[in-house]
């Protein structure tokens, strides 16, 4: 599965990830700056916020209640914000593109 991360300077990095890994894990494994993943993917730190590319909004499963609540409390005001630890990669998401905020805090 090919994923492209675009940082706040519009620098794109494309990585490969195995199906079943989370988008957060794929970022951390590839040392993508901008994704911290402090809680290890338990939906409790909100340091893995990303903004889904407009071309992919609507193709991802909607956030679950816990993710929505975390995004709200993290004041993630971008409408396409997601916690990338809650996005499980599968073949349908091949080519996924997400944008990274300048900072996670």
Give contact residues for ligand FES (rule: CB under 6 A).
24, 37-39, 41, 43-48, 83, 85
If DSSP codes are grouped into helix, strand and coil, which group holds residue 28? Answer: helix
Contacts 24+ apart (CB under 8 A), 43-46: 43/67, 43/70, 43/83, 43/85, 43/86, 44/70, 46/70, 46/71, 46/73, 46/74, 46/76, 46/83, 46/104
Q: Considering beta carbons, is residue 39 or 80 the nearer one to ligand FES? A: 39
* Rounded least distance, CB 9 to ligand FES, Å: 23
CB of 6 or CB of 24, closer to ligand FES: 24
Least separation in angstroms between CB 49 and ligand FES: 8
Closer residue to ligand FES in complex, CB, 1/67? 67
Distance from C-alpha of 51 to C-alpha of 103, rounded to nearest angstrom: 12
Nearest distance from C-beta of residue 39 to ligand FES, angstroms = 3
Least Cβ distance, residue 27 to ligand FES (angstroms) = 10
34 versus 37: smaller Cβ distance to ligand FES:
37
CB 26, CB 89: distance < 8 Å: yes
């Amino acid at each position: 599965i090919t994923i492209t991360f675009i940082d706040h300077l519009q620098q794109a990095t494309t990585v490969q990830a195995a199906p079943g890994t989370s988008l957060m894990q794929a970022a951390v494994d590839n040392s993508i700056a901008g994704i911290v993943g402090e809680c290890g993917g338990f939906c409790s730190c909100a340091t893995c916020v990303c903004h889904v590319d407009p071309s992919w909004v609507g193709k991802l499963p909607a956030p679950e209640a816990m993710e929505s609540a975390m995004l709200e409390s993290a004041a993630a005001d971008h409408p396409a914000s997601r916690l990338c630890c809650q996005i499980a990669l599968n073949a349908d998401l091949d080519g996924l593109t997400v944008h990274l905020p300048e900072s996670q805090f």
